[in-house]
């Protein structure tokens, strides 16, 4: 965080430029009462010439002498529209512009207040000197003292022996001392020499030279350093430097030293134009001592509006090696679990009311885990053309057409990570087939929506054409003596009817008045059979069976390389209990099942088990807010024949008060191959991909000011902990919070990383140490910061 705590620059009080405040319009203020007129908010008058400002003199006694001097004594005040000067005695020499204030001197301007026993000031030259000033800053809420303040011009002020704190408490927990501070207001720059940060009267940070912004606007200079430690990188520290190059672009250099690996250089460049914007981020380590090689990462994003509904975008991400995120991740699983890095570039057009089109190229960098099984890369799409036409409520009809033309290219095998996946000779360097796919899906529906019920008949036609380079494959890793045909096509009609009703009745839940609903839903789908066994599979997978998919048109997800034949009816039922007064949903129960009228013939790959059951698994879901502080949820996929659960999640969360929450969750997902074919477990070399995990997370007060926070994830399938987080937070009396967070997480099938974060947060200043807040917010459900934010200050904070 930038050293905004040095913003004591506003101590000048009488020198900053006025900030404009927009008046409130009737629209912004809301609907006014009849007969009343909305008045504008307080606002700063700007662009007023000095000669047009009226000056008001107030005192118990006002005297003029023959030399043009005005003497104000007894509660003396000089007021203008932009400033107020007060004192026991004020002498003003009109011919020279000199002002002498003696006794209880005060200057108020732009909500910044400066006081002192005496000061001399020249209103024409805007120079002067204040002895022993105390100041309060309207922009930041900070305050401080100095032995002396010298004003050389409206732009330049120098403070001597400064003590400053952004903490608004009577006894600040932290403050900064510096023997000399120069403030340059037009340049938005302050320069402090030999600055020392004190916490609880103990020095914790020193810098011989500090450059900082004097207003809230951005300013070039060093940012607060961050530091931490991890088992993969050792002790680390980074000292970023920020360059405010222009109002619409900036640059941050981020040198980062890791004791086990060396000095890593990083940079972030951001820019924003009228029709474009983007950012670039990259790191480079010339010689990683632990890995004995150079390591790097870069990410580039750019968007550009070209006019006429045409826009361009670029998103490129690449790393030097598979283990980069495992070795350099700062926030655990959010980065170390990356397996694919996507990149894309292309054009998008939406210049017509009913049409949209795009042309993109997509590539993926696959990050392999050497300790796990080989991960087949995703297909690059080089390129993909998409054209959509849609018009809704056209004489009651909804029409839509989605059209794709995609060239799929499988990346060549990358040596040095795993043995070559296919051992048959003559197949290198290929891993799978390539090809081009043309597809078009056009639908027309006639929604009939009425109060309490709806019926949506829908008919569609799916057209596909493939041109394939098989390279000796008929399926991934499966060499074939006779590859599939070079070109082939497919035409399939798809017909469905979606219907539902909603019934309501008055009821009660836990003794409270409620409205209960009963919502039956029927979805019929008819798709004829087409032999698709010779069609390549580029980006299609078996979809998870859930409530959304149960009412979908295909059991396969992705690019429609397979369209399942269907003659089926999905039956769903939902019942809700809503608070009668607020409408808040207290309880929801849902169930669904498919009924099949014939066997399924289309499978993803030849040899996959064909479904012969007449009914699908049951789907169940329940969620309840048993009280305003206790919540329960549950959903499951259950096989009534084998009495096996194929998928299940459950969780409870309790939030009895602020900064106190506990949650427990359970997740189970059977290997999809077992769901399709239970006998797959007996095949040689089979690796069970079933996932089963328990998670416990929470935040809880241990004492009046001490809080514990953490999360524990345990994989029952792997019989190991995949992530452990434990932290302590101590909320100080005023303006400070200390945190220590330890994290242990899996970065591969065999390796784990342990990291520790420490942070001392000083309200009004920033934080020292690596920031664990993002980690806590992402991983601990219901986490709340113990820090009470300081209220935003305004220009009228000390308005008189």
Below-50 pLDDT ranges, the chain: 1-32, 331-333, 424-425
> d(Cα 95, Cα 60) in Å, to the nearest integer?
24
pLDDT score at 250: 92
Examine residue 69 and state whether it is found in any structural domain, yes or no: yes
130 — alpha (psi -120 to 50), left (phi > 0) or beta? beta
The number of distinct structural domains making up the chain is 1
pLDDT score at 767: 63
Q: Is the pTM of this model over 0.75?
A: yes
Given a contact cutoff of 8 angstroms between Cβ atoms, the answer to whether 412 and 422 are in contact is no
> d(Cα 35, Cα 27) in Å, to the nearest integer?
16
> d(Cα 146, Cα 179) in Å, to the nearest integer?
9
Given a contact cutoff of 8 angstroms between Cβ atoms, the answer to whether 74 and 50 are in contact is no
Secondary structure of the chain: what % helix, strand, coil (to 5)?
Answer: 5, 55, 40
DSSP annotation of 5 reads G
Examine residue 126 and state whether it is found in any structural domain, yes or no: yes
Tell me which residue of 168, 191, 175 sits closest to 9, measured CA to CA: 191
43 CB-contact burial (10 Å; exposed 0-12 / middle 13-18 / buried 19+): middle
Examine residue 605 and state whether it is found in any structural domain, yes or no: no
Tell me which residue of 42, 39, 35, 78 sits closest to 58, measured CA to CA: 78
Examine residue 500 and state whether it is found in any structural domain, yes or no: no
Partner residues linked to 699 by β-bridges: 661, 709
Residue pointed to by tokens 């330049």: 156
In this structure, are strands 566-579 and 512-527 parallel, antiparallel, or unpaired? antiparallel
Examine residue 87 and state whether it is found in any structural domain, yes or no: yes
Given a contact cutoff of 8 angstroms between Cβ atoms, the answer to whether 739 and 726 are in contact is no
DSSP annotation of 603 reads -
Tell me if residue 26 falls in helix, strand or coil.
helix
Tell me if residue 732 falls in helix, strand or coil.
coil
Residue pointed to by tokens 């051992």: 423
> d(Cα 184, Cα 650) in Å, to the nearest integer?
60
Given a contact cutoff of 8 angstroms between Cβ atoms, the answer to whether 577 and 611 are in contact is no
φ and ψ at residue 8, rounded to 5 degrees: -65, -5
pLDDT score at 7: 30
- String of DSSP letters for 176-236: EEEEEEEEETTTTEEEEEEEEEEETTEEEEEEEEEEE-SSSS---EEBPPEEEEETTTEEE
Paired tokens of 320: 């030097």
Examine residue 132 and state whether it is found in any structural domain, yes or no: yes
Given a contact cutoff of 8 angstroms between Cβ atoms, the answer to whether 541 and 604 are in contact is yes
Examine residue 657 and state whether it is found in any structural domain, yes or no: no
Q: What are the Cα distances from residue 341, in Å, to 321, 367, 377, 448?
A: 12, 8, 11, 44
Radius of gyration of the chain (CA): 35
pLDDT score at 212: 61
Tell me which residue of 188, 115, 121 sits closest to 146, measured CA to CA: 115
φ and ψ at residue 617, rounded to 5 degrees: -65, 155
Q: Which domain holds residue 170?
A: 4-26+50-213
Given a contact cutoff of 8 angstroms between Cβ atoms, the answer to whether 60 and 75 are in contact is yes
Paired tokens of 479: 């060499």
> d(Cα 622, Cα 635) in Å, to the nearest integer?
6
pLDDT score at 768: 64
Examine residue 175 and state whether it is found in any structural domain, yes or no: yes
- 694-716 burial, b at 16+ Cβ within 10 Å, e below that, comes to ebebbbebeeeeebebbbbbbbe
H-assigned helices in 104-204: none
Paired tokens of 300: 């580039």
Query: Which helix (H) or strand (E) covers residue 637, if one does?
Result: strand 630-639
Tell me which residue of 114, 112, 106, 56 sits closest to 81, measured CA to CA: 56
> d(Cα 6, Cα 179) in Å, to the nearest integer?
13
Query: Which helix (H) or strand (E) covers residue 448, if one does?
Result: strand 448-450
pLDDT score at 790: 61
């Amino acid at each position: 965080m930038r050293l905004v705590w040095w913003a004591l620059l506003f101590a000048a009080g009488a020198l900053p430029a006025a900030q404009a405040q927009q008046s409130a319009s009737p629209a912004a203020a809301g609907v006014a009462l009849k007969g009343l007129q909305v008045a504008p908010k307080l606002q700063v008058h700007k662009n007023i010439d000095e000669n047009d400002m009226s000056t008001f003199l107030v005192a118990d006694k006002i005297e003029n002498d023959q030399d043009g001097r005005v003497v104000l004594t007894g509660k003396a005040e000089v007021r203008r529209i932009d400033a107020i000067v007060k004192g026991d005695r004020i002498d003003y020499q009109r011919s020279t512009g000199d002002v002498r204030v003696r006794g209880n001197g005060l200057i108020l301007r732009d909500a910044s207040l400066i006081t002192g026993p005496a000061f001399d000031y020249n209103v024409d030259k805007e120079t002067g000197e204040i002895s022993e000033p105390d100041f309060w800053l309207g922009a930041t809420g900070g305050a401080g003292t100095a032995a002396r303040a010298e004003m050389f011009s409206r732009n330049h002020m120098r403070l001597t022996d400064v003590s400053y704190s952004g903490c608004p408490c009577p006894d600040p927990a932290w403050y900064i001392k510096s023997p000399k501070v120069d403030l340059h207001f037009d340049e938005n720059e302050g320069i402090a020499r030999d600055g020392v940060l004190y916490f609880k009267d103990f020095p914790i940070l020193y810098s011989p030279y500090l450059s900082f912004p004097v207003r809230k606007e951005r300013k070039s200079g060093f940012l607060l350093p961050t530091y931490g430690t991890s088992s993969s990188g050792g002790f680390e520290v980074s000292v970023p430097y920020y360059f405010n190059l222009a109002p619409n672009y900036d640059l941050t250099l981020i040198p980062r030293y890791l004791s086990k690996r060396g000095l890593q250089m990083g940079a972030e460049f951001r820019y924003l134009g009228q029709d474009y914007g983007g950012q670039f981020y990259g790191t480079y380590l010339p010689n990683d001592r632990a890995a004995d090689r150079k390591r790097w990462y870069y990410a580039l994003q750019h968007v550009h509006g070209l006019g006429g509904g045409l826009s361009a975008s670029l998103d490129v991400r690449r790393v030097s090696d598979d283990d980069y995120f495992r070795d350099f991740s700062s926030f655990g699983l959010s980065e170390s679990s990356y397996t694919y890095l996507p990149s894309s570039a292309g054009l998008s057009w939406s210049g017509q009311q009913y049409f949209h089109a795009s042309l993109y190229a997509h590539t993926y960098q696959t990050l392999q885990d050497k300790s796990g099984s080989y991960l087949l890369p995703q297909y690059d799409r080089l390129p993909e053309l998409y054209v959509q036409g849609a018009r809704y409520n056209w004489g009651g009809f909804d029409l839509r057409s989605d059209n794709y033309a995609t060239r799929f290219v499988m990346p060549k095998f990358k040596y040095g990570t795993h043995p070559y996946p296919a051992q048959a000779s003559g197949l290198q360097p290929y891993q799978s087939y390539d090809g081009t796919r043309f597809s078009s899906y056009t639908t027309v529906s006639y929604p009939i929506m009425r109060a309490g019920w709806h019926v949506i008949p829908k008919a569609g036609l799916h057209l596909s054409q493939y041109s394939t380079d098989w390279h000796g494959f008929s399926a991934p890793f499966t060499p074939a003596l006779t590859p599939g045909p070079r070109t082939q096509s497919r035409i399939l009609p798809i017909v469905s009817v979606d219907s539902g009703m909603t019934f309501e009745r008055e009821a009660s839940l836990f003794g409270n008045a409620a409205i209960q609903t009963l919502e039956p839903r029927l979805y019929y789908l008819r798709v004829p059979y087409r032999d698709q066994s010779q069609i390549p599979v580029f980006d299609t997978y078996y979809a998870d069976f859930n409530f959304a998919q149960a009412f979908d048109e295909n059991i396969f997800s992705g690019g429609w390389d397979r369209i399942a034949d269907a003659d089926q009816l999905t039956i769903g039922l939902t019942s809700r209990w809503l608070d009668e007064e607020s409408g808040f949903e207290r309880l929801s129960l849902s169930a669904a099942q498919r009924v099949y009228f014939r066997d399924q013939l289309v499978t993803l790959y030849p040899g996959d088990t064909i479904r012969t059951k007449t009914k699908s698994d049951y789907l169940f879901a329940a969620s309840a807010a048993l009280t305003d502080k206790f919540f329960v949820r549950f959903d499951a996929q259950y096989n009534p024949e084998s009495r096996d659960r194929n998928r299940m999640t459950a969780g409870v969360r309790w939030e009895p008060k602020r900064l106190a929450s506990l949650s427990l969750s359970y997740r189970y997902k059977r290997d999809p191959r077992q769901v399709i074919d239970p006998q797959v477990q007996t095949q040689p070399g089979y690796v069970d991909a079933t996932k089963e995990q328990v998670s416990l997370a929470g935040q809880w007060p241990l004492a009046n000011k001490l809080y514990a926070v953490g999360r524990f994830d345990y994989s029952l399938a792997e019989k190991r902990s995949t992530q452990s987080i434990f932290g302590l937070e101590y909320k100080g009396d005023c303006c400070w919070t200390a945190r220590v967070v330890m994290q242990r997480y899996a970065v591969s099938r065999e390796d784990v990383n342990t990291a520790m974060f420490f942070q001392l947060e000083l309200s009004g200043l920033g934080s020292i140490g690596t920031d664990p807040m993002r980690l806590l917010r992402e991983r601990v459900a219901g986490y709340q910061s113990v820090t009470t934010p300081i209220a935003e200050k305004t220009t009228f904070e000390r308005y008189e």
